[in-house]
């Protein structure tokens, strides 16, 4: 296989293969369920069969008598409430008196093997007093007297946000074109292929270690110590290889508390592996939202007003819901300039599995609604869909209507690339019956300016250690969840130190050994952890150069494992030895990402504030069978401005995975519940996710806008590229057959209904 | 707890005997009895393909065809020669499929990939130069949630010698002109 020297070196911008690739390829990589310890017990969770009920009594005595059962656990043994956000601690590892959805955890049994534990669950007797269940956001709003979760101050509202920027009603009154429609997003879930798993072990000195398939080891560490009442120094959380997450593993979960408590009770290692069904109950997926959106354009096609009223179905617990209510409004204000803007979003507690942050947290749903509305409004003025997006481009180094600071912005280049690659000018509106092209754009955060719990400490820390053998060890708290941050850390070390990236060891996501990092969420890892790593490596490079200058002279270059100066060159290891001798101590340096003060000067103005925003444009191509409503998205061109691709292969992977996931939500994904609140078909057969045969061809195009603040100019790539997929598909279906889809997913029967309701002459979109 | 039965398994060229309950699945036997943890459990009911292994009659040649270990009883696999992901590499190194998956970025979280790579290996064993539709068809029983399948197709084509790994260069965006009107400052808008 041919490789460029760039590729071999593995410095910034190289298509360097993932450092954990071989271990994943040969089956030797260790995921949480691959861990086993002597005398390890297996535990199972008993779950509520009621969507809403009071617990009157729990009797575990019969379960405890079953041979092979070693211990049982009920909520009263660790009743403290927890939650990822400190203002909404509203969950218990096991419910003490109140269950809130079918699948809520009630009791736990540890046994010699999994089957015995499962058998024992059937012997636990729980007396419930069923309560009326609220199964939609509308019901939750209509029945404040029924309290799903006591944490709600008013009725069942987790959080309501109302913000207005400028005279919205005035702008609407004078608009040249308006669309005012209701859009609905059905809930969807992450469905990582690895089910959640946790293993706990207590050593003879009382130190607890929990290995968990989590993307937030730091928060799990904090909450474990708090809920179990242990000193944080006695608790260690390690994240092994993680088999997919997408936001679905970014809350502390009951299984982590239960294995820990059972290990403390029994003195034996304990494992819980969720079944696929349980993964669906753990959920934290994308919120169902009903959005009443008004988009107004002036005569020049400029967006003069956007008004969005959003009702969010949150499920039984808050999770990140406080943030969701903000993100649903705050993240819509680019890449276009809004003249005026208003949103009113309410997140409701309901008796269903809790929603949370799924890739593109909070903003995928409103983005769908807005981009379809923009298309429709532009059509009324006879403006081409790409042209209207170009005309409203907000620019670089500007502030959005809601006070977010945009630095770099490559959105125009993204539009240009997808326009060219898709043959838009020649093909849009001209593909013949049943075939069409659609476009959409979006922006997303590169991390949040403020951490989930308020503090002045760095959001991400990296420690780099060099030793006399020339070995570089990077200690990083960041979670590699498949996106490849461990590989980027090797590349950053190679770039700064001139070492061979293959001689870099990364020790990551271990709360005993690594500095704190907040976790893999909100697309923060490359930006924040990358800056921290670069800072640490820069400091070490200065030490190396200073020490080496004695031998090779000043003006030193560090490159490819060689330290070169005017008086000759020495090896990287020799330079390390000189520096260690000069230092008189082991060589190390640290770097940290410090939170910047950002955001609008109003209540909530900091939520949605990010040190940099990424931008994306998609063009989707579809084929619709107008007889049956069956449609297929055949190809998506996705151009994404990631600032700088530190590793183009990894960035393309993030774009492709995002496009796939967005297209999946448009096509088939929905969490469907019955009248009693039971989730239908909690399996990968019934909850359909796309196979290779359902996935469009994806063209990932990277745009680099070189952000002034990101590491080497980089911004995020993991979540932004998902957003435009759904509206681009909806707009393409409109181009193909003249219908406007406003409710997800776009089931063929929905498409057919709209096709049948068409009036003559509506078969195609208006030509521009 | 149920009574155990004796089960003989022939895996990656080694013969194993184990005592396990009769309902022991092949996946459980591989993962928990033989510690071959490369085969993954994603759904435990034959939906996701992460547990895919290759099997053939012991008298037959070749590597065999993909089956789902999670819905195969270990007892029923006793007459078969089984290849798991641990048996795909040779002392000389990774199989070309494994190498290509690692080089092309086809491995993100990596969890579905042992099954995916074995399905891909079986495809290339019966069809040296597969078309894209043939690749898509052969992988349709293996769910991947990370990659959108794009780099998996690329890796298989690279392993088959049909193409080189992607080398498309990123495109630089020029410094954008400020939008034609200055964005509104928040302070002017709030009461």
Q: Do B178 and A398 touch (CB under 8 A)?
A: yes
Residues paired with A703 in a beta bridge: A641, B171
- Asked whether the beta carbons of A475 and A463 are under 8 A apart, the reply is yes
Where in chain B are the domains?
5-87, 96-159
The CATH number assigned to the domain holding A20 equals: 3.30.365.10
Q: Do B176 and A242 touch (CB under 8 A)?
A: no
Q: Is residue A704 part of a domain?
A: yes
- The rounded Cα A149 to chain-centroid distance in angstroms is 25
Name the percent of chain B lying above pLDDT 70. Answer: 91
> Can you tell me the mean pLDDT for A289-305?
97
Euclidean distance between CA atoms A321 and A339, whole angstroms:
28
Given a cut of 50, whether residue A3 has pLDDT beyond it is no
Q: Do B146 and A244 touch (CB under 8 A)?
A: yes
Name the percent of chain A lying above pLDDT 90. Answer: 94
- Sheet hosting strand A562-565, strand order edge to edge: A557-559, A562-565, A568-571
A91-95, A406-410, B116-120, B172-176: the lowest-pLDDT one = B172-176
- One domain for residues A472 and A531: yes
- Asked whether the beta carbons of A361 and A172 are under 8 A apart, the reply is no
Q: Is residue A427 part of a domain?
A: yes
Q: Which of A193, A249, A695 to mutate to test the interface with B (most CBs of B within 10 A)?
A: A193
> A638: number of CA atoms within 13 Å, CB side?
39
- One domain for residues A425 and A474: no
Of A502, A329, A322, give the one whose Cα is nearest residue A401: A329
> Can you tell me the mean pLDDT for A623-640?
98
Given a cut of 90, whether residue A373 has pLDDT beyond it is yes
Quick: pLDDT tens for A186-209. Answer: 999 999 999 999 999 999 999 999
Within A310-410, where are the H helices? Answer: 321-330, 364-380, 385-391
Strands A303-313 and A341-348: parallel
The confidence band for A728, taking pLDDT boundaries of 50, 70 and 90, is very high
Spell out which residues of chain B touch residue A67, defining contact as CB-CB under 8 Å: 1
- One domain for residues A639 and A585: no
Q: Do B109 and A241 touch (CB under 8 A)?
A: yes
Among candidates A400, A417, A689 on the partner chain, residue whose Cβ is nearest the Cβ of B145: A689
Question: Which pLDDT belongs to residue A765?
Answer: 53
B96-159 folds as DNA polymerase; domain 1 (1.10.150)
Given a cut of 50, whether residue B185 has pLDDT beyond it is no
CATH number of the B5-87 domain: 3.10.20.30
CB pairs under 8 A between A and B: 279
Spell out which residues of chain A touch residue B108, defining contact as CB-CB under 8 Å: 244, 482-484, 653, 657
> Can you tell me the mean pLDDT for A751-756?
97
- The rounded Cα A119 to chain-centroid distance in angstroms is 36
Q: Is residue A140 part of a domain?
A: no
Q: Do A27 and B167 touch (CB under 8 A)?
A: no
- Asked whether the beta carbons of A479 and A239 are under 8 A apart, the reply is yes
Helix (H) / strand (E) element for B188: namely helix B186-189
Q: Do B108 and A484 touch (CB under 8 A)?
A: yes
Instruction: Name the residue with tokens 């979540």.
Output: A719
Of A169, A46, A53, give the one whose Cα is nearest residue A111: A46
Q: How far is CA A271 from CA A32, A39, A236, A259, A346, in A?
A: 9, 11, 16, 6, 38
Distance from CA of A26 to the nearest CA of B (A): 6
Distance from CA of A542 to the nearest CA of B (A): 31
Residue of A nearest to B189 (CA): A166
Among candidates A67, A243, A691 on the partner chain, residue whose Cβ is nearest the Cβ of B111: A243
Euclidean distance between CA atoms A718 and A244, whole angstroms:
13
> Can you tell me the mean pLDDT for B80-84?
98
Of A499, A514, A513, A510, give the one whose Cα is nearest residue A467: A499
Given a cut of 70, whether residue B187 has pLDDT beyond it is no
The per-residue pLDDT of chain B, averaged, comes to: 92
The confidence band for B191, taking pLDDT boundaries of 50, 70 and 90, is very low
Strands A177-185 and A289-297: antiparallel
Output Rg (C-alpha) for chain B, integer angstroms. 23
Q: Which of B23, B173, B179 to mutate to test the interface with A (most CBs of A within 10 A)?
A: B173
Spell out which residues of chain A touch residue B98, defining contact as CB-CB under 8 Å: 22, 25-26
Quick: pLDDT tens for A399-437. Answer: 999 999 999 999 999 999 999 999 999 999 999 899 999
Distance from CA of A568 to the nearest CA of B (A): 35
Given a cut of 60, whether residue B184 has pLDDT beyond it is no
Within A267-310, where are the H helices? Answer: 276-282
> Can you tell me the mean pLDDT for B93-121?
97
Residue of B nearest to A245 (CA): B109
Q: Which two tokens stand for residue A756?
A: 């049948």
Distance from CA of A667 to the nearest CA of B (A): 14
The confidence band for B13, taking pLDDT boundaries of 50, 70 and 90, is very high
- Asked whether the beta carbons of A467 and A645 are under 8 A apart, the reply is no
Q: Is residue A100 part of a domain?
A: yes
Task: Count how many domains chain A has.
Answer: 3
Given a cut of 50, whether residue B186 has pLDDT beyond it is no
Q: Is residue A103 part of a domain?
A: yes
Among candidates A21, A417, A684 on the partner chain, residue whose Cβ is nearest the Cβ of B48: A684
Q: Do A641 and B173 touch (CB under 8 A)?
A: yes
Instruction: Name the residue with tokens 């420690």.
Output: A463
Euclidean distance between CA atoms A76 and B175, whole angstroms:
60
Domain boundary among A567, A593, A619: A593
Residues paired with A105 in a beta bridge: A47
Q: Is residue A568 part of a domain?
A: yes
Q: Which of residues 275-314 of A touch B (CB under 8 A)?
A: 275-276
Residue of A nearest to B31 (CA): A34
Q: How far is CA A622 from CA A52, A431, A433, A632, A697, in A?
A: 43, 10, 11, 6, 11
Instruction: Tell which wins on pLDDT, A391 or A763.
Output: A391
Given a cut of 90, whether residue A768 has pLDDT beyond it is no
Name the percent of chain A lying above pLDDT 70. Answer: 98
Q: Which of residues 509-568 of A touch B (CB under 8 A)?
A: none
Within A50-108, where are the H helices? Answer: 61-65
Instruction: Write a three-state SS string for A470-539.
Output: CCEEEEECCCCCCCCHHHHHHHHHHHHHCCCHHHEEEEECECCCCCCECCCCCCCHHHHHHHHHHHHHHH
Q: Do B151 and A702 touch (CB under 8 A)?
A: no
Question: Which pLDDT belongs to residue A767?
Answer: 43
- What letter does residue B142 receive in the DSSP assignment? S
- One domain for residues A497 and A532: yes
Write the ipTM. Answer: 0.96
Question: Which pLDDT belongs to residue B190?
Answer: 40
Q: Is residue A167 part of a domain?
A: no
Domain boundary among A232, A262, A282: A282
- One domain for residues A468 and A582: yes
- One domain for residues A545 and A410: no
Q: Hey, is the C-beta of A393 within 8 angstroms of any chain B C-beta?
A: yes
- One domain for residues A348 and A480: no
Given a cut of 50, whether residue B63 has pLDDT beyond it is yes
Given a cut of 60, whether residue A766 has pLDDT beyond it is no
Given a cut of 70, whether residue A603 has pLDDT beyond it is yes
The confidence band for A454, taking pLDDT boundaries of 50, 70 and 90, is confident
Given a cut of 60, whether residue A745 has pLDDT beyond it is yes
Among candidates B39, B107, B148 on the partner chain, residue whose Cβ is nearest the Cβ of A656: B148
Question: Which pLDDT belongs to residue B177?
Answer: 61
Q: Hey, is the C-beta of A604 within 8 angstroms of any chain B C-beta?
A: no
Question: Which pLDDT belongs to residue B96?
Answer: 97
Domain coverage including residue A615: 289-450+600-756
Question: Which pLDDT belongs to residue A8?
Answer: 61
- One domain for residues A94 and A230: yes
A59-68, A119-128, A495-504, B120-129: the lowest-pLDDT one = A495-504
Q: Do A26 and B107 touch (CB under 8 A)?
A: no
Q: Hey, is the C-beta of A660 within 8 angstroms of any chain B C-beta?
A: yes
Spell out which residues of chain A touch residue B102, defining contact as CB-CB under 8 Å: 17-18, 21-22, 24-25
Question: Which pLDDT belongs to residue A761?
Answer: 73
Q: How many CB atoms lie within 10 A of CB A421?
A: 15
Output Rg (C-alpha) for chain A, integer angstroms. 27
The confidence band for A337, taking pLDDT boundaries of 50, 70 and 90, is very high
> Can you tell me the mean pLDDT for A242-250?
98
Given a cut of 80, whether residue A263 has pLDDT beyond it is yes
The CATH number assigned to the domain holding A52 equals: 3.90.1170.50
Given a cut of 60, whether residue A88 has pLDDT beyond it is yes
A194-208, A333-347, B161-175: the lowest-pLDDT one = B161-175
Q: Is residue A573 part of a domain?
A: yes
Among candidates A241, A400, A412 on the partner chain, residue whose Cβ is nearest the Cβ of B173: A412
- On the question of a cis peptide bond just before residue A335, with omega within 30 degrees of 0, the verdict is yes
- One domain for residues A631 and A701: yes
- One domain for residues A121 and A253: yes
Torsion sign over Cα A167, A172, A176, A180? positive
Domain boundary among A593, A620, A642: A593
Question: Which pLDDT belongs to residue A368?
Answer: 98
């Amino acid at each position: 296989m041919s490789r460029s020297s760039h590729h071999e070196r593995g410095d910034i911008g190289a298509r360097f293969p993932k450092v954990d690739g071989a271990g994943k390829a040969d089956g030797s990589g260790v995921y949480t369920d691959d861990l086993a310890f002597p005398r390890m017990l297996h535990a199972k969770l008993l779950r509520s069969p009621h969507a809403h009920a009071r617990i009157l009594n729990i009797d575990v005595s019969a379960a405890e008598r079953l041979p092979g059962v070693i211990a049982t656990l009920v909520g009263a043994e660790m009743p403290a409430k927890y939650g990822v956000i400190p203002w909404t601690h509203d969950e218990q590892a096991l419910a003490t008196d109140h269950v809130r959805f079918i699948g809520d955890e009630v009791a736990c049994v540890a046994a010699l093997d999994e089957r015995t534990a499962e058998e024992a669950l059937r012997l636990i007797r729980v007396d419930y007093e069923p309560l009326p269940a609220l199964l939609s956001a509308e019901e939750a709003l209509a029945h404040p007297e029924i309290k799903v979760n006591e944490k709600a101050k008013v009725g069942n509202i987790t959080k309501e946000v109302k913000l207005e920027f400028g005279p919205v009603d005035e702008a609407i009154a004078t608009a040249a074109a308006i669309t005012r429609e209701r859009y609905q997003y059905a809930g969807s879930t992450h469905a990582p292929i690895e089910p959640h798993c946790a293993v706990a072990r207590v050593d003879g000195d009382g130190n607890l270690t929990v290995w968990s398939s989590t993307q937030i080891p730091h928060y799990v560490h904090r909450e474990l110590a708090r809920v179990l009442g242990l000193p944080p120094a006695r608790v260690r959380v390690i994240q092994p290889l993680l088999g997919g997450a997408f936001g679905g593993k970014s809350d502390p979960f009951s299984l982590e508390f239960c294995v820990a408590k059972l290990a403390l009770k029994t003195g034996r290692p304990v494992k819980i592996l969720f079944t696929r069904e349980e993964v669906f109950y753990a959920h934290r997926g994308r919120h169902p939202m009903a959005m009443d959106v008004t988009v107004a354009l002036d005569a020049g096609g400029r967006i003069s007003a956007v008004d969005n009223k959003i009702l969010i179905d949150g499920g039984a617990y808050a999770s990140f819901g406080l943030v969701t209510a903000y993100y649903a409004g705050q993240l819509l204000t680019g890449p276009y300039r809004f003249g005026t803007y208003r949103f009113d979003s309410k997140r409701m507690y309901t008796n269903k599995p809790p929603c949370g942050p799924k890739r593109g947290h909070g903003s995928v749903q409103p983005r769908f609604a807005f981009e379809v509305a923009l298309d429709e409004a532009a059509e009324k003025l006879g403006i081409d869909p790409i042209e209207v997006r170009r005309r409203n481009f907000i620019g670089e180094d500007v502030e959005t209507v809601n006070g977010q600071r945009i630095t770099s912005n490559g959105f125009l280049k993204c539009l240009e690339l997808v326009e060219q690659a898709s043959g838009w000018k020649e093909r849009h509106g001209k593909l013949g019956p049943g075939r069409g092209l659609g476009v959409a754009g979006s922006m997303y955060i590169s991390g949040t300016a403020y951490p989930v719990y308020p503090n002045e400490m760095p959001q991400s820390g990296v420690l780099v250690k060099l030793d006399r053998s020339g070995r570089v060890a990077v200690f990083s708290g960041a979670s590699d969840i498949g996106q490849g941050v461990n590989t980027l850390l090797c590349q950053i070390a190679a770039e700064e130190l001139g070492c061979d990236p293959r001689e870099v060891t990364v020790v990551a996501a271990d709360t005993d050994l690594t500095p704190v990092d907040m976790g893999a969420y909100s697309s923060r890892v490359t930006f924040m952890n990358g800056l921290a790593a670069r800072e640490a490596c820069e400091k070490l490079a200065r030490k190396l150069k200073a020490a080496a200058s004695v031998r090779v002279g000043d003006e030193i270059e560090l490159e490819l494992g060689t330290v070169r100066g005017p008086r000759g060159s020495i090896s990287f290891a020799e330079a390390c030895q000189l520096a260690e001798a000069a230092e008189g101590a082991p060589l190390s340096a640290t770097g940290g990402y410090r939170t910047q003060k950002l955001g609008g000067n109003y209540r909530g103005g900091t939520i949605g504030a990010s040190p940099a925003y990424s931008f994306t444009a998609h063009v989707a191509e579809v084929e619709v069978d107008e007889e049956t409503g069956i449609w297929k998205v055949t190809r998506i061109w996705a151009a994404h401005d990631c600032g700088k691709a530190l590793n183009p292969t990894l960035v393309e992977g993030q774009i492709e995975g995002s496009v796939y996931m967005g297209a999946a939500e448009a096509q088939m994904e929905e969490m469907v519940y019955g009248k009693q609140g039971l989730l239908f078909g909690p399996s990968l057969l019934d909850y359909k996710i796309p196979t290779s045969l359902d996935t469009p061809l994806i063209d990932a195009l990277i745009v680099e806008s070189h952000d002034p603040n990101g590491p080497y100019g980089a911004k995020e790539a993991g979540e932004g590229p998902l957003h435009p997929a759904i509206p681009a598909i909806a707009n393409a279906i409109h181009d193909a057959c003249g219908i406007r889809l406003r409710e997800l997913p776009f089931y063929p029967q929905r498409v057919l209904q709209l096709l049948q309701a068409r009036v003559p002459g509506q078969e195609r979109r208006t030509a521009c | 707890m149920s009574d155990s039965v004796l089960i003989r398994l022939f895996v990656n060229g080694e013969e194993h005997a184990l005592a396990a309950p009769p309902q022991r699945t092949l996946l459980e036997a591989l993962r928990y009895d033989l510690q071959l943890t490369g085969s993954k459990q994603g759904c435990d009911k034959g939906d996701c393909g992460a547990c895919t292994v290759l099997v053939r009659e012991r008298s037959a040649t070749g590597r065999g065809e993909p089956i789902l270990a999670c819905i195969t009883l270990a007892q029923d696999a006793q007459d078969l020669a089984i290849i798991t992901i641990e048996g795909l590499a040779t002392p000389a190194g990774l199989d070309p499929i494994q190498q290509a998956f690692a080089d092309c970025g086809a491995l993100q979280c990596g969890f579905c990939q042992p099954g995916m790579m074995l399905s891909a290996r079986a495809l290339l064993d019966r069809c040296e130069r597969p078309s894209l539709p043939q690749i898509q068809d052969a992988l349709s029983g293996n769910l991947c949630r990370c990659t959108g399948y794009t780099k998996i197709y690329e890796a298989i084509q690279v392993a088959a010698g049909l193409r080189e790994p992607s080398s498309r260069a990123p495109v630089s965006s020029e410094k954008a002109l400020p939008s034609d009107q200055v964005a509104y400052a928040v302070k002017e808008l709030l009461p």
